[in-house]
Amino acid sequence: MLHELLFVLSGYPGDVFVPTPTQVPTTFAIPPGFPLLHSAERDSLNRFGQLGWTYSQINDFVTSTKDLKLSRQQSEASNRPHGAYIQALLTCIETTLNEYRHDILEIEKSILNKEDDAGLGVVPISLIAAKLTRWELLLPSLWKFVRLLQTDPEKYHGCRLFNLLMDQVRTGVLEYRKEMEKIIEGLYDVLYRQLSSWMVYGHCVDHYNEFFIVPCNRTAATATTGWNRLYTIASDRVPDQLALSVVESVLFVGKAIATVNEIDKMPSTATINTQDEDVLLNSKLVRTVAQTRKIPIPEGMRKKHLDLLLTLHSSRLQQLPSMWVQYPQLLQNVVNQVRRSTSDWLFSQVLIGDHGLHRYLSSFRHIFLLSFGEWASNFIEECFAWRKRSSSQFNRSKPKEDSTKDSNKTALIFRHQELNALLLKSSLNTDAEGRLSGYSLWVENEQTKNFVFSDMLLGKLGIVLTFSLEWPIDLFINENHLKVYSNLWSFLISLKCTQTSLNNLWKSLRTSGYVNQDEKLPVQTSNINLQSRNGYQERLVWRLRSLMLFWIDTLWNHLQAHVISFHYDQLIDVTTLSDDTTPRKRRSRQTKTKLDFEEIQEAHEKFLVNIERGCLLTSEECIETMHLILTTCSSFCQLMERLTDEGEWRINKRRRIMKTAAEIVNNWTDNETSSFWLKDIEHIQEEFKGSTEKFFNLASSQPPEIKSSGKIDILLLQLDYNKWFSNPYS
């Protein structure tokens, strides 16, 4: 019986312990007809049979999975646990099973040596059970864990295993918790090797698609530019205990090293796929990168990074209690140090000369933030002219229903090309000439729908300015930063467009009263007499235009002078090395002799946040209100332009000195019919008044940090200089 007992504990059935039930065994048990056993003895022995069966199942899983050899193609279609992380897990489990086997051997040795003999060759079952107490707690829990892996291997593949282990380690069973901690340590060693290969050498060694850094596929690559075509983050593989900032830092360091390693292998424009339009649009940048000199990575920096990452290996962390709890913090510290070191080196070796940081910041200031006012005005005028041409062409030719879809698709392509050509045309003979390389317009696509003000310039046809991020500026500026710049441009160009429309309206209203501009002969019209009601209609129009232009001018001047220029100067100060000969530096007492990449990135992000706050683009209510104000102003301009084109707006320069009674009565009776557009103007006035009052209240109630960094109090003071908003009786 003792021989059979040891045999079944080792996972092998025999004559006494047989698989039960026969069809689908779930345990090893003594058959019901076995004689000479008390029910209590049978139950105790069956417990050992259950333990042996559990061990055999775990051992079979380890043996079958450990010997599984799959190619990369087979692993993608396999529904069995596989990969480097599973192999590390199996190694830890096998170590535990070896301890179990050792305990069985010790029990057998003590039986043979009669160390546990209670007399007459009897070995108490309770004594054997006491020696196996640890395994009766551990093996069933471990088997349950193994079944989770077998049930859904894809869910717990690669780095996803960490999430399962973090759930399992939170248990009250001490032995099982220790086992999970040991497995976590083994998996962290695999992660350490992948991090070392990626962050030190720029190699993504991942045969089984387990790492959270993955090469970009063809489809995703066409939507990105520069080095962002190489690798990206697989968000579904990122362990929950790792912060997104840490993972992004890992991606940044590895991509930087990989790009520097491969910079001499980048394609020239002659070898670029002609179907890749995004690259062809930026062939000049690609050629520049392809001809960039090889930048050797310092061996000292490699060794430093290896030493830092080596501290994450389990052999260095044996002294730490509950290492799995502290590992994410340790990893974050190490990754931050490696990123800082890599960033500083890149900043000193790559972002120099023609690719200097200030060159890009200055370009974004001039183009995105409309410092080049002449170019912005030219572009707006070109858009106005294009809009009129498109409107007249649409009215002349209406497409048939059958060809609507094809014509719309073709028209969108031509619009994209035409508007981007206008972008370059508007820069001729301005400061922006030759400085628009990399800039382009998104025209009525999915991206433009995310920008509220994209419909202000061309009406329903949304356009947004963007920039092609290429090496090396994408080391510093990412897609999120670019979206902020595009959003700011969309808002500022809408504001400038409204300002231009109101200024052009003055010319239209003043010159529409003359047929012959050379002779300056006033036109007499019988439709409308603007001198009715002592010139109320004329005063209403001019006053409303004046109010609108004052509000737009005040906001525009405030943004350019007190927000954009102020914070841009601060950014330049932070990103400039100290110069004792500069009076400004001497006054600020800055002694910066080395630029810190992380501090510069932080300063740039702070700059964007402050600009957004100053433009009040951090408040959804303010955005909606400002959009309504600009839309109201545009509606007013369009209405008055239509009235002048239709001849309904005429200014009589010669006041009548005398009026007959008949004329006065005629003015009274015809006033309602002749001033059909007066109600529209009054409605626009009320809408503008309500929107601006709402904006003033919203801006006044902004949080203190937004008011401070956005200089909101200065704007409120300028808008309310005559108590127009704050005085309820104004």
> In this structure, how many other beta carbons lie within 10 angstroms of the beta carbon of residue 290?
17
- Distance in angstroms (rounded) separating the CA atoms of residues 48 and 128: 9
Vertex 489, ends 488 and 495: CA angle to 5°?
95
pLDDT of 593 reads 56
Q: b or e along 645-655 (b: 16 or more beta carbons within 10 Å of the residue's beta carbon)?
A: eeebbbebeee
DSSP string, 607-635: HHHHHHHHTTTT-HHHHHHHHHHHHHHHH
Query: For residue 419, how many C-alpha atoms fall within 13 Å in the half-sphere facing its CB?
Result: 24
* 113 residue type, one letter: N
Q: What share of the chain is helix, strand, coil (3-state, %, to 5)?
A: 65, 5, 30
- DSSP for 56-71, please give it: HHHHHHHHHHHT----
363 pLDDT above the threshold of 80: yes
Window from 78-92, 280-294, 441-455, 539-553 with minimum mean pLDDT: 280-294
Query: Which of the pair, 322 or 361, is modelled with greater confidence?
Result: 361
What 8-state DSSP symbol labels residue 297? P
The residue that leads in pLDDT, 222 or 244, is 244
The C-alpha angle 707, 700, 715, rounded to 5 degrees, equals 65
Hey, how many other C-beta atoms are within 10 angstroms of the C-beta on 541? 22
pTM of the predicted structure, to 2 decimals: 0.70
CA distance 427 to 363: 14
User: Is the per-residue pLDDT at 212 higher than 80?
Assistant: yes
Q: Give the per-residue pLDDT at 505.
A: 87
pLDDT of residue 290 exceeding 60: no
CA-to-CA dists, residue 126 to 22, 34, 105, 132, angstroms? 29, 21, 18, 10
46 or 722: which leads in pLDDT: 46
What pLDDT does residue 602 have?
87
The reported pLDDT for the residue numbered 465 is 92
Mean pLDDT taken over the chain: 80
- Check if the beta carbon of residue 202 is closer than 8 Å to that of residue 261: yes
Q: Is the per-residue pLDDT at 199 higher than 80? A: yes
Q: Which residues touch 202 (CB under 8 Å, ≥6 apart)?
A: 254, 255, 256, 257, 258, 259, 260, 261, 262
Calculate the CA dihedral of residues 536, 542, 543, 545 and round it to 10 degrees: 140
- Write down the pLDDT at residue 415: 80
Q: What is the pLDDT of residue 403?
A: 44
Q: In the chain, pLDDT over 90 holds for what percent of residues?
A: 40
* Averaged pLDDT for residues 383-401: 67
Q: List the single range of 338-347, 424-433, 587-596, 633-642 with lowest mean pLDDT.
A: 587-596
pLDDT over 60 (residue 520): no
Residue 725 confidence class, pLDDT cut points 50, 70, 90: confident
Residue-level pLDDT at 135: 95
Residue 684 region by backbone torsions, left for phi larger than 0, else alpha for psi between -120 and 50, else beta: alpha
Across 78-87, 225-234, 641-650, 693-702, the highest mean pLDDT is recorded for 693-702
Instruction: Give the C-alpha separation, 583 to 576, whole Å.
Output: 14
Does residue 289 contact residue 470 with C-beta atoms inside 8 Å?
yes
Per-residue confidence (pLDDT) for residue 319, from 0 to 100: 63
- Between the alpha carbon of residue 114 and those of residues 6, 102, 127, 132, the distances in Å are 15, 18, 13, 18
One-character DSSP codes across 311-335: TTSGGGSTTSTTHHHHHHHHHHHHH
| Phi-psi sector, 429: left (phi>0), alpha (psi -120 to 50), beta | left
pLDDT at site 286: 44
At 307, the pLDDT band (50, 70, 90 cuts) reads: very high
268 — pLDDT class (breaks 50, 70, 90): very low
CA distances from 463 to 377, 405, 412, 423 (A): 16, 21, 12, 11
**Those residues with Cβ within 8 angstroms of residue 459's Cβ, 6 or more apart along the chain or in another chain:** 387
Beta bridge partners of 27: 20
| 572 in Cβ contact with 361 (< 8 Å) | yes
Where residue 324 falls among pLDDT bands split at 50, 70, 90?
A: confident
Cβ atoms 524, 652 nearer than 8 A: yes
* Total H helices, total E strands in the chain: 27, 6
| pLDDT on residue 376 | 92
Kindly give the interhelix angle for 174-201 and 161-168, rounded to the nearest 10 degrees: 150
Residues of the chain with pLDDT > 70, as a percent, come to 76
Range name among 217-221, 299-303, 477-481, 572-576 with the lowest pLDDT average: 217-221
* pLDDT > 60? residue 270: no
Token pair belonging to 340: 């800082």
pLDDT at 654 over 50: no
Q: Helix 404-425 crosses helix 373-396 at what angle (to 10 degrees)?
A: 150
Q: Which long-range contacts (CB under 8 A, 24 or more apart) does 549-552 make?
A: 549/499, 549/502, 549/503, 551/629, 551/692, 551/719, 552/495, 552/498, 552/499, 552/502, 552/633
Give the model confidence (pLDDT) of 136-178 as tens digits.
999 999 999 999 999 999 999 999 999 999 999 999 899 999 9
Mean pLDDT, range 659-675, rounded to an integer:
51
H or E element: which one contains 541?
Answer: helix 536-558
Q: What is the pLDDT of residues 448-497, one digit of tens each?
A: 778 889 888 887 788 899 998 877 787 788 888 999 999 999 999 999 99
The total of other beta-carbon atoms located within 10 Å of residue 483's CB is 15
In angstroms, what CA-CA distances link 7 with 21, 102, 130? 19, 14, 18
For residue 510, count other CB atoms closer than 10 A to its CB.
Answer: 10
Among 3-17, 324-338, 645-659, 708-722, which is the least confidently predicted range? Answer: 645-659
CA separation for the pair 686, 693 (Å, rounded)? 11
Find the DSSP H helices in 368-448: 373-396, 404-425
Looking at the predicted structure, is the pLDDT value of residue 12 above 70? yes
pLDDT score for 730: 53
> Which parts of 113-173 fold into alpha helices (H)?
125-131, 133-151, 161-168
pLDDT higher for 135 or 641?
Answer: 135
Residue among 486, 409, 405, 403 at smallest CA distance from 442: 486
Q: So what's the pLDDT on residue 565?
A: 94
State residue 354's pLDDT score. Answer: 57
Q: Which domains does the chain have, with CATH numbers?
A: 2-156 (no CATH), 213-350 (no CATH), 360-394+410-513+533-652+664-719 (1.20.120.1900)
Is the preceding omega at residue 21 within 30 degrees of 0, hence cis?
yes
Report the residue count for the chain.
730
Which residues make beta-bridge pairs with 214? 232
Average pLDDT in the 283-311 region?
73
584-598 CB burial, b ≥16 within 10 A, e <16: ebeeeebebeebebe
pLDDT score, position 343: 83
When pLDDT is averaged across residues 507-529 and rounded to a whole number, the result is 52
* 19 DSSP β-pair partners: 28
Which position has the higher pLDDT, 381 or 656?
381
Cβ-contact 1, 16 below 8 angstroms? yes
**pLDDT tens readout for residues 67-111:** 776 665 665 556 788 899 999 999 999 999 999 999 999 988 988
Give me the mean pLDDT over the 554-576 stretch: 92
Which has more confidence, 543 or 74?
543
- Overall average pLDDT of the 684-693 stretch: 92
